[in-house]
Amino acid sequence: ALPQHVKLVEVGPRDGLQNERNVGTAAKVELINQLSASGLTYIESGSFVSPKWVPQMADSADVFAAIERHSGITYAALTPNLKGFENAMLAGADEVAIFGAASEGFSQRNINCSIAESLARFEPVIAAAKAKQIKVRGYISCVLGCPYDGDIAPAQVAAVAERLYRMGCYEISLGDTIGVGTPLAAQRMLSAVAERVPMEQLALHFHNTYGQALANIANCLPLGVSTIDSAVAGLGGCPYAKGASGNVASEDVVYMLHGMGIETGVDLNQLIAAGQSICATLQQAPRSLVAQAEIAK
Ligand code: HMG
Ligand code: MG
């Protein structure tokens, strides 16, 4: 059955802006403040990774220091290791996310270690978070295909998901990093993972490179998944996945869910306004057809 309510995880300020030209701290803060006003309850606001690897996120501490915090909104950060976790805590992140992969090729290129090494590296992060009562989300990249290793078996995704879940991640976000998935493959993958991790603990994180993200989400919703990651204006991509484009646009997801009678708590107009502002700064049109249609009205 379809969920009645979907929780949206807005990743635009992180996943989006990590792969656009660096817009500067003030524009990032303004984007997050605008998103906070739209009714979103979860905003991934930056990442504490090596600035040599992702220079666009080097000012995440400054971003966290400057945003207006609203009660009821989780401002989260990506943390690949203990150093990142400590910096995220100093910056006042509410929650953190570790990020692994279902493929060895992507793991090596994105975080410079094997899947097994990455899991070992996450252990102390989870332990430190537990000690501070900070929740940890776990990402898995390349769940529907890898730019280096090609096809990925659903069983491989399920195995990594189960490990992250048992290690203590409260939610596992399933990343179609390069947007190659199609609806039946997405359903098969989600079903396989849901045999090992409860559906309520799973999220979809689909990039829209091949224009399939919305169709994939629509076909996974009847399986009961109720957390969706998206980026306002379809911003971004991943610097370590060549050709990867942005996440599915938040405006498109909200429009589709509301049309299906599924609540999100998000005001579409305010979301569109937030996307318009950041796209003006980036000097590009929002990569959301819903936003384009509403703006043209
Ligand atoms: P490494 O080079 O193997 O790490 O990188 P290292 O421990 O040997 O450290 C090398 C240097 O980095 C040292 O500095 C460390 O201090 C520094 P140096 O001595 O050379 O001056 N360093 C750090 N600096 C700041 N913060 C840190 C940190 N850690 C080490 N936390 C590492 C390993 C994981 C650090 C590196 O590979 C890295 O930062 N990777 C991040 C890549 C990234 O951010 N990718 C994008 C996010 S993932 C994504 O977008 C996918 C997702 O959206 C889901 C999907 O769509 O699939 C989540
Ligand atoms: Mg991503």
Tallying the residues shown for the chain, one arrives at: 297
User: What is the Cα–Cα distance from 229 to 204, expressed in whole angstroms?
Assistant: 6
Amino acid at 268: L
Mutating to test ligand 1, I would choose from 45, 50, 56, 99 the residue with most ligand atoms within 8 A of its C-beta, which is 50
| 220 part of the active site | no
Catalytic entry in 142, 146, 169, 238:
238
Closest ligand to Cα 57: 1
**Residues in a beta bridge with 95:** 76
- Reading the chain (297 residues) residue by residue, the pLDDT tens digits are 899 999 999 999 999 999 988 999 999 999 999 999 999 999 999 999 999 999 999 999 999 999 999 999 999 999 999 999 999 999 999 999 999 999 999 999 999 999 999 999 999 999 999 999 999 999 999 999 999 999 999 999 999 999 999 999 999 999 999 999 999 999 999 999 999 999 999 999 999 999 999 999 999 999 999 999 999 999 986 556 666 689 999 999 999 999 999 999 999 999 999 999 999 999 888 999 999 999 999
ipTM confidence? 0.98
Between the CA of 116 and the centroid of ligand 1 the distance, in Å, is: 16
For ligand 1, atom 17: residue with the closest CA: 50
* CB half-sphere exposure, 159, CA atoms < 13 A: 11
Between the CA of 111 and the centroid of ligand 1 the distance, in Å, is: 6
